Structure 1
């Protein structure tokens, strides 16, 4: 399901199960936990919009998923909407799904974004979290195109609503949100610990040089490390 009013955090994800499995594994390794907590996001004087930026594979989506998990654990009253931004078509379909969940009838695709913005912006008693995953296209978000308005113009705003973006585009992150969180690759020691735990090994001291070579080839990207470990264990 690509956009949903959440009653169960397990229902959130957008394609096959592999990213979910990586997110669960990352939680077991305690990686990424605490980078973005509900307390940071929902503090009274905190920013309404936050952008998580970094290279592809560094774990931005996992951090957003971890936030969802913690928000639901802290307060089940939050409505959470997840929108994959890999294409205009995905975004449009997500907004249409949201209008259906919100009980709107016969909304045209071209009207869905404005309808959702109006609804969320006027429901002062509704606590919501809107997450745009892979918001990387500067033209689509800032300039619009082909006669379409920029997506940034459809962002709702209320005291109890928050918007999270994940993006590989640092310049776009600055334009989308007043608060940016830059997620970088892990260092060598963290990478070694992550690889060791993923392989269910006590330590990699005897194979350290080989392990470091592997981590270097993987650019010390957390999700790449976990994927490689899963592949090795499966052989």
Structure 2
């Protein structure tokens, strides 16, 4: 259930992917943290497709967490894809139905990506006259599955603090800007630059700006 096609021009990011693999050897969750446009979602997409090749019988789910509305849509899509009871009914508590399915050991292993978890207020509601914040239901659920043994969780976020809070204090894997060699390979793969000198110039710009890797034409 990855809502994006596989990027056939995905280049590099070996250090981040290796850090993810190392984390998954010891834990069932990882947060990818970095500035907007640095490529966190692209790395998660690449990991999902690699996971499906390695484990073709396992489920892969994706929730865009930019807002409560998008989270609700993600839950609804999971319920529809699994044909869970009541998914068509507006009165059904879709969050509870999906949470119950994911938390059942009978339904694992699976991989869930929670993408663009950038807004603290989506996951923690302010409590009037009470210090601190109250976890939203989605946060309580993520903390529970982060400790599960039958599912794997990837979170992408611009906010390292939020990543740590969602994963019970686990330190996020930081996603840096592309290094020079990876940037050059990506540009060549996408046909950018008519000469080696032009590729070098564009690669320098690529490494100095936050950008959407999927929309390189907007940068040049």
The answer on 1:223 being equivalent to 2:182 is no
Show the counterpart of 1:24. Answer: 8
* Local SS of the residue matching 1:184: coil
Task: State the Cα RMSD in Å.
Answer: 3.4
The worse-fitting range, judged by mean Cα deviation, of 85-94 and 165-174 is: 85-94
C-alpha distance in 2 between matches for 1:221 and 1:76: 32
Cα 1:100/1:198, change in 2 over 3 Å = closer
Show the counterpart of 1:54. Answer: 34
The answer on 1:174 being equivalent to 2:155 is no
Show the counterpart of 1:154. Answer: 141
Residue among 99, 102, 105 paired with 1:117: 99
Contact 2:193 2:202 in 1 (8 A): no
Show the counterpart of 1:194. Answer: 186
C-alpha distance in 2 between matches for 1:82 and 1:150: 18
Structure 1 stretches of at least 4 aligned residues deviating more than 6 Å after TM superposition: none
Show the counterpart of 2:17. Answer: 36
Cα 1:203/1:109, change in 2 over 3 Å = farther
Cα 1:86/1:193, change in 2 over 3 Å = same
Residue among 47, 55, 80 paired with 1:67: 47
TM-score, L = length of structure 1: 0.72
C-alpha distance in 2 between matches for 1:127 and 1:212: 40
Cα 1:165/1:213, change in 2 over 3 Å = closer
TM-score, L = length of structure 2: 0.76
1:141 deviates by 1.1
How big is each residue's C-alpha offset from its partner over 1:135-192, in whole Å with a ceiling of 9 and x where there is no partner? 11111113379x9934211235331201111111121111112141100112345434
Residue among 79, 88, 111 paired with 1:129: 111
1:40 deviates by 3.6
C-alpha distance in 2 between matches for 1:213 and 1:223: 14
Gaps of 5+ in 1: 5-11, 15-19
1:60 deviates by 0.5
How big is each residue's C-alpha offset from its partner over 1:45-69, in whole Å with a ceiling of 9 and x where there is no partner? x222211011111110111111111
Greater relative contact order (Cα 8 A, min sep 6): structure 1 or 2? 2
Contact 1:192 1:204 in 2 (8 A): no
Cα 1:125/1:119, change in 2 over 3 Å = closer
C-alpha distance in 2 between matches for 1:209 and 1:59: 20
1:209 deviates by 7.5
C-alpha distance in 2 between matches for 1:144 and 1:120: 28
1:36 deviates by 2.7
C-alpha distance in 1 between matches for 2:78 and 2:43: 23
